[in-house]
Amino acid sequence: MENKVGFIGGGEMAYAVAMGMLKGGLKPASIHVSNPSPGKLERYKKEGMNTTSDNIQVLQSCNIIILCVKPQIFPTLMKEMKTRGFKSKNQLIISVIAGLTNAKMEEIFPDSRVIRTMPNTPCLVQSGVFLYSAGSSATPADVELLLQLISPCGECISLAEHLIDAAQSICGCGPAYIYTAMDALADGGVKMGLPRALSIKLAAQAFVGAGKMHLETGLHPGVLKDAVTSPGGVTICALHELDKAGFRAALINAVTTATNRSIEMRKYNE
């Protein structure tokens, strides 16, 4: 049987993952997307994917379901499934919903297999991170199928479920941290007389290059940082300003707060 992948929710994360899958060779006709807003479905239509405003239609027609709604919306989806008498049977249910645990999914979908995941938006350009933790009902074949679908999106990392909240607070939220830093660096460049487009390009390339330096050398970020800080030089003076402003503490606090918020979001599924 040909796999049919159904996305419940058509927001940014769903689009990033769907496009990553397409670039990996999945046929557009194999992807079905539901969203209440017709405007959000237009870009999926342009890529040849099947679209509808009916969640139950997608749930009934696909053997692989990817839950991509916001945590606050998931209770509404559960109510809709109950009202319309939908019961999942022998499907692979994949969640990218923050705070939705495997145990809760197995309670909701007792006759299907579940895998909790958390991707990030760079999956759109096949440079993302896709965290996953299989539920007790999932088989090795289910995990293999998941990897076939998501590996084109970027780096796939299996980890214990209790680590997902913290891990997603780095890689899931991380792009937003980076974009904020890029924007601030660009503002600094503009302040010093650089054209904005050039400032943004320089900041973006600095992040790409720095990440690649670590990934290809395996060197600790602190070692790489020390390699570009000469005694009394420009970089060490700049880093001093960052430390005075609480740069490192702000990032640590951001990860802590994001982790706690992810855990707190479990309340929407109780």
Predicted confidence (pLDDT) per residue in 14-23, tens digit: 999 999 999 9
Residues 33 and 119 in one domain: yes
Distance (Å, whole) CA 206 – CA 76? 43
Instruction: Walk along the chain (270 residues) and give the pLDDT tens digit of each residue.
Output: 689 999 999 999 999 999 999 998 999 999 999 999 889 999 999 999 999 999 999 999 999 999 999 999 999 999 999 999 998 889 999 999 999 999 999 999 999 999 999 999 999 999 999 999 999 999 999 999 999 999 999 999 999 999 999 999 999 999 999 999 999 999 999 999 999 999 999 999 999 999 999 999 999 999 999 999 999 999 999 999 999 999 999 999 999 999 999 999 888 876
Assigned domain for 29 exists = yes
Could you tell me which residues are annotated as the binding site for NADP(+)? 8-13
Could you tell me which residues are annotated as the binding site for NADPH? 55
- Cβ atoms within 10 Å, residue 15: 22
Q: Which amino acid is at 181?
A: A
| Dihedral (CA of 142, 25, 74, 158) sign | positive
Assigned domain for 155 exists = yes
Assigned domain for 169 exists = no
Q: What is the CATH number of the domain that holds 225?
A: 1.10.3730.10
Q: CA gyration radius for the chain?
A: 21
CB 41 within 8 A of CB 51: yes
**What is the predicted pLDDT for the residue at 214?**
98
Look up residue 162 and give its DSSP letter. G
Dihedral angle, C-alpha 109, 110, 111, 116, nearest 10 °: 50
Assigned domain for 165 exists = no
pTM (2 decimals)?
Answer: 0.91
Distance (Å, whole) CA 144 – CA 161? 18
- Give the count of domains, the chain: 2
Residues 48 and 117 in one domain: yes
Residues 233 and 139 in one domain: no
Predicted confidence (pLDDT) per residue in 230-247, tens digit: 999 999 999 999 999 999
**What is the predicted pLDDT for the residue at 267?**
83
Could you tell me which residues are annotated as the binding site? 8-13, 55
Distance (Å, whole) CA 256 – CA 200? 28
Q: Can you list the alpha helix ranges (DSSP code H) found in 66-139?
A: 74-83, 102-108
